Structure 1
Amino acid sequence: MFTGIDFVQFFRDNAALAVFLTVAVGFWIGKFRYKSFSLGTVTSVLLVGVAVGQMKIEIPEPAKTLFFLMFLFAVGYAVGPQFFRGLRKDGLPQVGFAVVLCLLCLGSVWLCSWVMGYDAAQAAGLMAGSQTMSAVLGVATDTMHEMPNAADLKYDIMPVVYAVTYIYGTAGSAWLLGTLGPRLLGGVDKVKAAARELESKMGEDMSAQPGFNPAVREITFRAFRADNEWFDPGRTVADFEREMQRQGKRLFVERLRQRGRICEVTPRTMLFRGDEIVVSGRREFVIEEEEWIGEEVVDNDLVNFRVETLAVVVGGRRRRKETTRMPIRDLLKADFMHGVMIRSITRAGVRVPVLGNGRLDTGDRLELVGLRQDVERAAGRLGFSDPETPKSSMTFAGLGIVLGGLIFGWVLVTRIGSIPLSLTVSGGVLIAGLICGWLRARRPDFGGLPEPAVWFMNNVGLNVFIAIVGISTGPTFIRGLQEMGWSVLLVGIVATSIPLISGIFIGKYLFRFNDALTLGCCSGARTTTAALGAVEETLGSNVPAMGYTITYAVGNTLLIIWGVVIVLLVG
């Protein structure tokens, strides 16, 4: 049986287990929510790490850096396509807005640090917490190690400031943009009207049209006997599908039983009265067809065929440009989309509204549903299929991390006096991730990391890094909090609020964005998904997500780099 001393010594001798314990308990606590408030996984892991760190456990330095670099590469890889997509002409306004808001974030943190007399470590903690960019902790630490006065800096104070200011950085941002933001723009009703106006300009909601099928609406395949006299004296499959489109229903004939024999169909296949046909489409439309086509039949042999659900990434060298710039409404009518349903569209990890005049972007991830030959044909025209696989190209990821750190952290270094100036190894790995993510969207044969692998590198990489930070600083955390005082909470509120409130008015009056789009752009530039969710809940619309993806890619990059800049400014 363990005594208290034996238990502590066990974890001191097995530091890796202390890290796993911290991550496990932190993820568990992070799931709890009171109304709209939640600590979140990252903050929970840090606080649990502080508690575990009271056992004075020493963890070797390379472990923290290893997981942090893995996280940074995954961040860049995930947003790379949208980052470079924003550099096109139509994306530049959102890129410009994101840059302005990120500069405001940097300026507010620097101003608060100057007023309060913070040193580089305290300022970096304020940047990481108030702007909810945990990666700043690692980037800033790398930069401080290069400073002439590195030995005099209080590294342990950085996670203290981060933990105290992060809570309002998350919850406060959601309240500012979800509750206060619409009022600053003229009221919730006015912003809701702006969202409806943008929807109207972008065309009808294709989620309510044949051919686009959200996950909550099941695509179905049903068999009917063609009893309608319309089928006399014989109609082609193409005639039938055109008639369905004329009635406002996008349905397809998938199989046919004719004269007792099951046949595969083509657009030229003839249909006669009395044939049994399998029709695919959205459930509500297919159910209605019993009144028009004829009686539904139960025929297990006829409907027993394989339907594919295929993940497709938009891009690739052979991708035709017209497929990405074509309005969704027209895309669904294209010949190569015959028999294919779109279940979902995800952009930079966020579900985006699919409106009639909306367009696909390079790197978008679609779920296509239909017969294998149909979805594979559509995949070849839209981009490339990206089926789930347990394999990852670690050569691709490993070389990306090494070359990014080598080039930007060592080769491209300049000096201001005695201070070396570079993006550091951390910043270089982030840039490498952006480039690799973009290359993957352009060339599907170039490396590749499946979504589960990216999720693991992103979430586990960050949280293991945060766990080690918490454990390492645990013994001095309470003393640091007493030294800083709770005034740091008020400073964090100011540093969080200034950029967001300013951004709302800048988006409205300077960039002249739609009000609903402005709130989405603010959420993206500050990389706060919680705020986007709060905005969408308040407005009852997912239109703000249209302003989230490009600004998120830019904000994710700049706010991490600000970890270098704030240390140089204050230090």
Structure 2
Amino acid sequence: MEWIIKTMQAAPELAIFLTLALGVALGKIKIKGFSLGSVTGVLLMGVLVGQLDLVISPTVKSAFFLIFLFAVGYSVGPQFVQSLKKGGLPQIAFACLVCIACLLTAWGAAIIAGFDIGNTVGLIAGANTISAVIGVATDTINQLTIGSGLKTEMINKIPVAYAVTYIFGTAGTAWFLSSIGPKILGGDIVKQTKEYEASLGGSIQDEDSSLGYAYNGATFRVIQANSSFFDTQRTVQEVEDLLATKGWPVYVERIRPINGVIIQEPTLDNKVSKGDNLVLNGPLETILTDENFIGKEVADIELLDFRVETLKVIVSNKKVQGTTLQELKDSKDRHGVVILKMYRGKATLPLLSNVKVQHGDVLEIEGRKSDVDRFAKSLGFAERPTNVTDLLYMGLGIFLGGLLGSLTFRTGNIPLSLSASGGVLIMGIIFGWLRSRRPTFGAIPEPAIWLMNNLGLNIFIAIVGISAGPDFIAGLKASGLSLFVAGIFVSIVPMLVGLLLGKYVFKFHPAITLGACAGARTTTAALGALEDATKSKVPALSYTTTYAVGNTLLIIWGVVIVLLMS
């Protein structure tokens, strides 16, 4: 053990990865369904490792934090800019007001409790579960015209307050919104959400909301055409028209005529005779229902020997933007293709007929490759799997963001600037939006975004914990209880404000109000709890816009709270 300690003291970079590994493991431990999460686990493990009195260059911490912030901005950029259009203005205003409530509540609680800058920063970061505030505020503290010793003391208090307030910030917010929120909004939340789904093209009678989706997965089955409908020869168009009246559209993908050569890509004019084998493509339950109108299922392995592709497509075609899923379903370009999922930012949207498609949405589609290629081209840009990240684009974005953040204006002795971290966040938003407008450049695959987010943030937090380790216990003893109480106040009050704003000022549907509250506070855990409480994905419709706005403003509050407290 002594050898290991000496090795880490000589090479502190090894301590970072030990902290990362043990912290993630700690964060995964569940007690009655609750876990700390990787960020808090890494922070606490960093504090423990920090007792070894390790010295790590702050440049390492800053570099990983900038990578994380660029990834955050890149991810929310399309939704943030899209929300600025007329249709998203009410949700933008809502998110701004909730974020202002988060700022003012934390500021007020800090003044009442007598917290200094460090504790206040940790309070707003932990109670609002926005870890990035730590880095942004640290940059701003370092710009203040105070002694270096005082700066270090303030910065070391941040992780103490963050750790104390984060647990309730996560679990408490999810509990409050999913359990207390519906009672404040009034009525039967499940019934109200079903009614809202019905207005979007769902079925109010369905117990499982997925049954009301416009599309519900696809399968391929071989059916022999031997019903009375084929007593006279039919065209493919007539067969598909028949099936369309019995349920969701089913398509004829291949034909094997009796004693004939397989027709691999039949047109709507191709003839179907009695006894022909047809490959049908459509939702499983629909095909099983329609089977009786065609004939009986047969095993024809050769006929099913063709390539099926599942593909994600970024919506960038202006003609598609603003259309509903029902209109996409009726599009000729969609023939033979099933829409499996629809993503907007971090949320998976309900596939209800009247849900509108926005620029930057990602549709996951499935079908025969030729059909998928045709439909993808009509939607926008096909995002085929790749492991190549455009490092030129990423590096340039971080560099330009750092330059933007370095611009400083002074009001007396107080410096006003975004700081490098704030500038990189803004530039990430711009670069993410540019990528959605011109998807032919600037690709950063989803797994790379995940790595930049998680590795960047967790290594940053690990170094924060290690650096604060020696002072952590003393800070916890001095302010632990008052911070915990203040954290509950700062977590709950903005959510209460949001519920009342949504109900009485903006007059949102209850499920939309709940989703908007979760988004404005960027609490993904709360979104999951809300979808369980409402038995629907409707809250995700308002989560995306408010998340993009909230994620940006709450991070910038790291600069603002330091200036207010100073």
Does the alignment reach a TM-score above 0.5?
yes
Q: What are the equivalent positions in structure 2 for 1:365-444 lying under 5 Å apart? A: 365-407=362-404, 409-411=405-407, 413-444=408-439
Aligned AA for 1:442?
R
Q: Identify the residue that residue 167 of structure 1 maps to in structure 2.
A: 167
Alignment check: 8 A CA contact 2:324 2:355 kept: yes
Q: Identify the residue that residue 542 of structure 1 maps to in structure 2.
A: 537
Alignment check: 8 A CA contact 1:345 1:352 kept: yes
Aligned to 1:263, what secondary structure does the other structure show? coil
Instruction: Determine if the alignment matches structure 1 residue 51 to structure 2 residue 54.
Output: no
Aligned AA for 2:546?
T
Within the candidate set 463, 483, 492, 2:487 is matched to: 492
- Cα displacement string for residues 155-180 of structure 1 (whole angstroms, at most 9, x for unaligned residues): 11111011101111111101110111
Instruction: Determine if the alignment matches structure 1 residue 178 to structure 2 residue 181.
Output: no
Instruction: Determine if the alignment matches structure 1 residue 110 to structure 2 residue 114.
Output: no
Aligned to 2:386, what secondary structure does the other structure show? coil
Alignment check: 8 A CA contact 1:210 1:250 kept: no
Q: Identify the residue that residue 133 of structure 2 maps to in structure 1.
A: 136
User: Post-superposition shift, 1:289?
Assistant: 3.5
Change (3 A) 1:209 1:504: closer
Q: Identify the residue that residue 253 of structure 1 maps to in structure 2.
A: 252
User: Post-superposition shift, 1:385?
Assistant: 0.6
Give the stretch that moved more between structures: 134-143 or 488-497: 488-497
Within the candidate set 340, 355, 359, 1:358 is matched to: 355
Q: In 1, Cα distance between the equivalents of 2:283 and 2:343?
A: 20
Q: What are the equivalent positions in structure 2 for 1:518-533 lying under 5 Å apart? A: 518-533=513-528
User: Post-superposition shift, 1:359?
Assistant: 0.9
Within the candidate set 8, 11, 19, 1:11 is matched to: 8
Alignment check: 8 A CA contact 1:211 1:250 kept: no
Aligned AA for 1:173?
T
Q: In 1, Cα distance between the equivalents of 2:299 and 2:247?
A: 26
- Cα displacement string for residues 94-151 of structure 1 (whole angstroms, at most 9, x for unaligned residues): 0000000000000000001111222221111111111111000000000011111152
Q: Identify the residue that residue 190 of structure 2 maps to in structure 1.
A: 192
User: Normalized against structure 1, the TM-score is what?
Assistant: 0.95
Alignment check: 8 A CA contact 1:53 1:470 kept: yes
User: Post-superposition shift, 1:7?
Assistant: 2.0
Unaligned runs of 5+ in 2: 204-208
Q: In 2, Cα distance between the equivalents of 1:100 and 1:36?
A: 32
Please, what is the CA RMSD of the aligned residues?
A: 1.4
Q: Identify the residue that residue 158 of structure 1 maps to in structure 2.
A: 158
Q: In 2, Cα distance between the equivalents of 1:172 and 1:211?
A: 35
Alignment check: 8 A CA contact 1:341 1:369 kept: yes
Alignment check: 8 A CA contact 2:344 2:544 kept: yes
Aligned to 1:473, what secondary structure does the other structure show? helix
Q: Identify the residue that residue 60 of structure 2 maps to in structure 1.
A: 63
Q: Identify the residue that residue 285 of structure 1 maps to in structure 2.
A: 286
- Cα displacement string for residues 164-210 of structure 1 (whole angstroms, at most 9, x for unaligned residues): 011111111011101111111225x2x22321221122122694368
Within the candidate set 441, 450, 468, 1:455 is matched to: 450
User: Post-superposition shift, 1:211?
Assistant: 6.1
Alignment check: 8 A CA contact 1:320 1:381 kept: no
Q: In 2, Cα distance between the equivalents of 1:211 and 1:503?
A: 31
Q: In 2, Cα distance between the equivalents of 1:559 and 1:445?
A: 31
Alignment check: 8 A CA contact 2:113 2:482 kept: no
Q: Identify the residue that residue 237 of structure 1 maps to in structure 2.
A: 236
Q: Identify the residue that residue 204 of structure 1 maps to in structure 2.
A: 202
Q: Identify the residue that residue 206 of structure 2 maps to in structure 1.
A: none
Q: In 2, Cα distance between the equivalents of 1:300 and 1:468?
A: 58
Give the stretch that moved more between structures: 537-546 or 280-289: 280-289
Q: In 2, Cα distance between the equivalents of 1:210 and 1:25?
A: 42
Aligned to 1:30, what secondary structure does the other structure show? helix
Aligned to 2:424, what secondary structure does the other structure show? helix
Give the stretch that moved more between structures: 201-210 or 19-28: 201-210
Aligned AA for 1:200?
A
Alignment check: 8 A CA contact 2:212 2:352 kept: no
User: Post-superposition shift, 1:392?
Assistant: 0.3
Q: Identify the residue that residue 222 of structure 1 maps to in structure 2.
A: 221
Give the stretch that moved more between structures: 61-70 or 203-212: 203-212
Aligned to 2:321, what secondary structure does the other structure show? helix
Aligned to 2:29, what secondary structure does the other structure show? coil
User: Post-superposition shift, 1:468?
Assistant: 0.9
Aligned to 1:149, what secondary structure does the other structure show? coil
Change (3 A) 1:84 1:180: same
Aligned to 1:324, what secondary structure does the other structure show? coil
User: Post-superposition shift, 1:485?
Assistant: 3.6
Q: Identify the residue that residue 479 of structure 1 maps to in structure 2.
A: 474
Alignment check: 8 A CA contact 1:211 1:340 kept: no
Q: In 1, Cα distance between the equivalents of 2:428 and 2:318?
A: 25
- Cα displacement string for residues 268-292 of structure 1 (whole angstroms, at most 9, x for unaligned residues): 1111111111111111222234322
- Cα displacement string for residues 209-253 of structure 1 (whole angstroms, at most 9, x for unaligned residues): 68612xxx5x21111111022123221111111111111231111
Q: In 2, Cα distance between the equivalents of 1:320 and 1:235?
A: 38
- Cα displacement string for residues 410-440 of structure 1 (whole angstroms, at most 9, x for unaligned residues): 24x2211122211111000000110111111
Aligned AA for 1:261?
V
Give the stretch that moved more between structures: 281-290 or 376-385: 281-290
- Cα displacement string for residues 344-379 of structure 1 (whole angstroms, at most 9, x for unaligned residues): 111112111121110111221221100111111111
Q: What are the equivalent positions in structure 2 for 1:29-108 lying under 5 Å apart? A: 29-108=26-105
Change (3 A) 1:182 1:39: same
Alignment check: 8 A CA contact 1:210 1:248 kept: no
Aligned to 2:17, what secondary structure does the other structure show? helix
Aligned AA for 2:199?
K
Q: In 2, Cα distance between the equivalents of 1:332 and 1:33?
A: 43
Q: In 1, Cα distance between the equivalents of 2:263 and 2:15?
A: 62
Q: In 2, Cα distance between the equivalents of 1:150 and 1:249?
A: 70
Aligned to 1:445, what secondary structure does the other structure show? coil
Alignment check: 8 A CA contact 1:210 1:251 kept: no
Instruction: Determine if the alignment matches structure 1 residue 509 to structure 2 residue 518.
Output: no
Q: In 2, Cα distance between the equivalents of 1:523 and 1:107?
A: 18
Aligned to 2:34, what secondary structure does the other structure show? coil
Unaligned runs of 5+ in 1: none
User: Normalized against structure 2, the TM-score is what?
Assistant: 0.96
User: Post-superposition shift, 1:400?
Assistant: 0.4
Aligned AA for 2:200?
M
User: Post-superposition shift, 1:557?
Assistant: 0.1
Identical-residue share of aligned pairs (%): 48
Q: In 2, Cα distance between the equivalents of 1:387 and 1:456?
A: 19
Aligned AA for 1:496?
S
- Cα displacement string for residues 367-413 of structure 1 (whole angstroms, at most 9, x for unaligned residues): 11001111111111111111111100000000001001102x224x2
Change (3 A) 1:396 1:71: same
Q: In 1, Cα distance between the equivalents of 2:126 and 2:291?
A: 59
Aligned to 1:203, what secondary structure does the other structure show? coil
Aligned AA for 2:211?
A
